[in-house]
Structure 1
Amino acid sequence: MQASMSSKFKSTSRRPLRAKLIFNAGSGRPEDSPQQLVSILSEMQDQQILPEVHTVRPDSDLERVVQDAIKTGIKLIVVAGGDGTIDSVVGAMVESDAILGIIPTGTRNNVAFNLGITGDIVNSVSLLRHGRRLKIDVGRVHCGHSRHWFLEVAALGLLSDLYPMADDLQHGDLAKIGELLSTFISATPSRLRMILDGHKHLTTTAHMMLITNMPFLGPHFQISSKVSFKDGRLDVFTFSDMSKLNMLSYAVSSRGGPAGDSGIKHYRAKHVRIVSKPQMPILADGNPLGQGTLSVHVHPRALTVMAGSALTGQRDTAKLTDSKAAVNG
C-alpha cells in the first residue's frame, strides 16, 4: 500500500506542466543568450515542463502575451531575463491565479535576489517545480495620467534623476559619467507634504524619498532588514537632513548590509500620497512617470511567485512561506 502511494505521488509530481517562457535575449550578456536558451529548454525537459516560448522583441507587448497564455489555461509564466522583463509582465498577473517563475539572466536580477533565486539555470529551473510558492505584495503608483505596478520601489527625487544614467553606465555607456556627476552636484531638495493612510500628515525637506516593497533595491542595496513584501504595507523612507555626501556614504555602506542614519525616517503605510514643491521626478522600478502629485497603494498578496528555500535578508523564512508544495500542473 505504502509503495503504491509513493509511486502515485512520484507520478503526480512529474506530470507534464505547461508553461509560457518569456525569454529576453537582450538581458545581461546578449552573446550568452543562445546557450542560455538551449540550457533552459534542456532543464525544462528534465523537469517535464512544456514551454511555449516567446522571444522578446522591441515591439513585444508582454502583458498581452501573458494574458493570452493565461486564457489558454497556462498557469506558470516563466521570465528568463532581468528586472525590466519581470516588470513588463507583472501587470498582467496581479490578482490572477497564474504563478510567476524567474530564471535570472539579467544585469542586476534584484527581484530574483530578494526571492532567494540566486543559483544558475539548473537550480532556477528546478525551483519552478520544487521551490516555495508565495503570495507577495505589489505596489501601484499613480502620477497624473501614469499608472504603474511595482515590486521593488517607487522613488521621488534624486534617485529618479540619477537612475537612467546609472543604468546606462552599468550597461557600458561611460559617456554618462559626467552627466551623472553634474546632476548629483546640482540637485536641490524639495519640500514634501505626505499623507499616510489618509490621516497621518507629515512635512519634511529632502533630496529623495523611497517607497519600498522589497528589502534589497537596484544592485542589491539593502535599504532595511525590516522591509517585507509579505506584510501588506509599504515602507516609506525620507532622506531628510542629509547632505549629498552623507547620502553617497550611506549608499556605499548599504552594500554590506543595512546602514543606519539619523537623517533617514522610516514609516509604514498601505496608502501614501505625496506633494513635492518644487516638483520632483518620479520613478517606479526604473520606469520614469514624470512629475507631480504621487499616490501609491499596496495590493496585499496580489502576486503568486515561486521562490527559493530561503528568502534573502529575511530573518524568519518559515513565517514568510505560503506553501512548500511543488508546482505539479
Structure 2
Amino acid sequence: MAFVSAAVAAAVPVLAAGFVGVVALLIVGTGGVVVAVAALYSFVTRFGILRWISLAVALLAPIIVVVSFVRANLLWVVVVSGVLAVVTVGAARIALRGSDSDSTMPEYSVPPPQRPFLIMNPRSGGGKVSKYDLVRKAEELGARVALLEGPEDIDVTALAQEAVADGADLLGVAGGDGTQALVAAVAVEHDLPFLVISAGTRNHFAMDLGLDRADPTRSLDALRDGVELRVDLGTVNGRPFVNNASFGVYAEIVRSPAYRDDKTATVLALLPDLLNGHSGPRLVARIGAIAVAGPQAILVSNNPYGSNDLAGLSHRVRLDRGVLGAVTLSVTSTREAVGLLRRTSVRGLSQDTATELTVDADAPEIPVGVDGESMLLETPVRCAIRPAALRVRVPRNRPGVRPAAAAFDWARLWQTAHRARP
C-alpha cells in the first residue's frame, strides 16, 4: 500500500497539471518549505528586529504557497497528493513496526512490601500530592510518608538512608525525576525495590515505565498488587540519573536563574548566543572509539531514545538494554539546520550507544543538566550505565509503554516488501 500510494501521489499532479504545472508545484511548494524552515532557524538565532522579521516570514511563507495554488486552480491536486502521502507514511510505519515483544520488559512476581517508605514533594507537579490526596491513600495501604516541607534543600538521600535503617523494605518517591534518582540510588545500594509515583511535572521516567501519568494514585496499586522490573541506572561523575544528562545548549539554559520562572522566554533569550557559539565552553564528546569535537548540544540518556524524530528525544521503549544513548548536535549554518529538520541530511547529528563515555571541555567545570536539575561538574565528565541495578515496583495493571513509531525508510520498506512475498 505504501508503494502504490506513493506512485499515485506522484502521478496525480502529472495527469492533472502536466509537466509545466508539476514543475511549478515543486518550485513553489519546496521553496515555501525551505523559506519557512530557514526563517524559523533565523528566529531562534537572531536578536532584535531581525528575529521578528524572520518569524513573520516563517508565518507568511505557507500562506503565500496556498494562495498561489488557489489562484492556479491546483489546490485540489495538492490536497489529493497530500492525503495519498499521509497514507504512504502510515502504511510504511505499520509495515516497519517492530513486534510488541521489542517493547516489553520482563516482569517478576513479588510479594507486597511490609514496611514501605514514601517521600512526597507537595510542590511537585503543581501540587498533585494534595490534589490527589496521595498521603492519605498511601497511609491506608500501610506506607509511612515523609513530606518535603520547609526549605528546598532537604537532604532526601539522608532521609531515605534513615528510613532503611528504621526497617523500610521499599522506597518510593512522589516528585520530580531528580529526586527520584537520588532515592533510587539508595534503593540500589541496599537492594530494595523502588516505587515511582507519577506526581511530577513531566514524569518522563514514569512514562517510560508505562505508568499512568494522568492519575498518580494508580501508581500506589503497586503496594498491593505489583510486579518488579529490573531497569538500568545511569551515572554522571558518580551521581545517578534515571533519564538523562545534558551538556551544552540545554545545560546552559537550565542553569539560568530565570529558567524556572519563564522557560519559554529564557530559551528565546539565550538560544542566539548559544547556537552561534558565543557562549559556553567548547566540548568534546568521546563515545567509545568516536570523538565528536565542538558539538553545541550533547544528550546522554539512560538507554537510547527512539530515533523517529530529529534528535531522538521521543521516549525510551525499554530501560533494560544495558547501554547509554548519546546524541550530539552541531549546526553551523542555516543549510545544515534545514537539512536536519527536513530529514534530508544527517550532517551535524550523531546518535550512538555506549556503556561509558566522557565529555571534556576547555574549562575545569561545565554546567550539566541532570534529570532537569542544573549543576557544575568537574571535567572530564564521565557517564556510565549500571545494568539492571534498579528494582522498580510497578502496578500489575498499568497503561504500558507505547511502541515507538518506526522511522520512515524506503530501503527497509523495500526489503520488508520482498520478505513478505510468498
| TM-score for the superposition, normalised by structure 1 | 0.71
Q: Write the distance in 1 (CA, Å) between the matches of 2:296 and 2:286.
A: 15
Matched, 1:233 2:328: no
- Give the partner amino acid of 1:192: V
Measured at CA, do residues 176 and 223 of structure 1 come closer, stay the same or move farther in structure 2, by a change above 3 Å? closer
Q: Does 1:77 align with 2:167?
A: no
How far 1:87 sits from its partner (Å)? 2.9
Q: Give the equivalent residue in structure 1 for 2:115.
A: 18
> Equivalents in 1 of 2:374, 2:392: separation in Å?
22
Alpha-carbon separation, structure 2, partners of 1:259 and 1:33: 45
Query: 1:222, 1:195 → 2: CA distance?
Result: 17
Alpha-carbon deviations, 1:213-239, whole Å to 9, x = none? 15569xxx9526677420111111222
- Within 5 A, what are the aligned runs for 1:37-186? 39-44=133-138, 48-57=141-150, 58-117=152-211, 118-142=213-237, 147-165=238-256, 168-169=258-259, 171-172=261-262, 176=266, 179-186=269-276
Do the aligned partners of residues 310 and 168 (structure 1) sit closer, same or farther apart at CA in structure 2, a change above 3 Å counting? farther
Q: Cα RMSD over matched residues?
A: 3.8
Of 258-267 and 148-157, the range deviating more from structure 2: 258-267
Higher-strand-fraction structure: 1
1:294 aligned residue (381, 389, 393) = 381
Q: Is the 2:234–2:302 contact (alpha carbons within 8 Å) kept by the matching residues of 1?
A: yes
Query: Structure 2: any 5+ residue segments left out of the alignment?
Result: 1-109, 405-422
Deviation at 1:91, TM superposition (A): 2.8
Q: For the Cα contact (< 8 Å) 2:330–2:349, is it kept in 1?
A: yes
Partner of 1:8: none
5+ residue gaps in structure 1? 1-11, 316-329
Given that residues 23 and 56 in structure 1 are in contact (C-alpha distance below 8 angstroms), is that contact kept between their aligned partners in structure 2?
no
Alignment partner of 2:299: what SS? strand
Aligned to 2:367: 281
Cα shift readout 1:111-131 (whole Å, capped 9, x = no counterpart): 111111124133121134334
Q: 2:303 and 2:354 mapped to 1: Cα distance? A: 14
Alignment pair present for 1:34 and 2:130: yes
Supply the distance in 1 between the matched residues of 2:317 and 2:291 (Cα, whole angstroms): 21
Report if aligned partners of 2:275, 2:296 keep a CA contact under 8 Å in 1: no
Deviation at residue 160 of structure 1 after TM alignment: 0.9
Percent identical across equivalent pairs?
24
Task: For residue 17 of structure 1, give the secondary structure of its aligned residue in structure 2.
Answer: coil
* Cα separation, partners in 2 of 1:288 and 1:275, compared to 1, 3 Å: same
Note if 1:263 corresponds to 2:352. no
Alignment pair present for 1:303 and 2:387: no
Q: Which amino acid aligns with 1:209?
A: I
- For the 8 Å contact 1:215–1:224, the answer to whether it is kept is no
Change (3 A) 1:95 1:300: farther
Structure-2 separation of matches of 1:25 and 1:248: 43
- Give the secondary structure class of the aligned counterpart of 1:94: helix
| Aligned partner of residue 190 in structure 2, secondary structure | coil
Which deviates more from structure 2 when the two are superposed, residues 294-303 or residues 170-179?
Answer: 170-179
Residue-pair matches, total:
284
Name the counterpart of 2:3.
none
Partner Cα separation in structure 1 for residue 115 and residue 122 of structure 2 = 22
Q: Partners of 1:110 and 1:238 in 2: how far apart?
A: 20
Larger radius of gyration: 2
Counterparts of 1:56 and 1:249, CA distance in 2: 49
Q: How far is 1:66 from its partner?
A: 0.7
Any residues of structure 2 matched to 1:178-217 within 5 Å, and which?
Answer: 179-187=269-277, 190=282, 192=284, 194=286, 196=288, 200-214=289-303
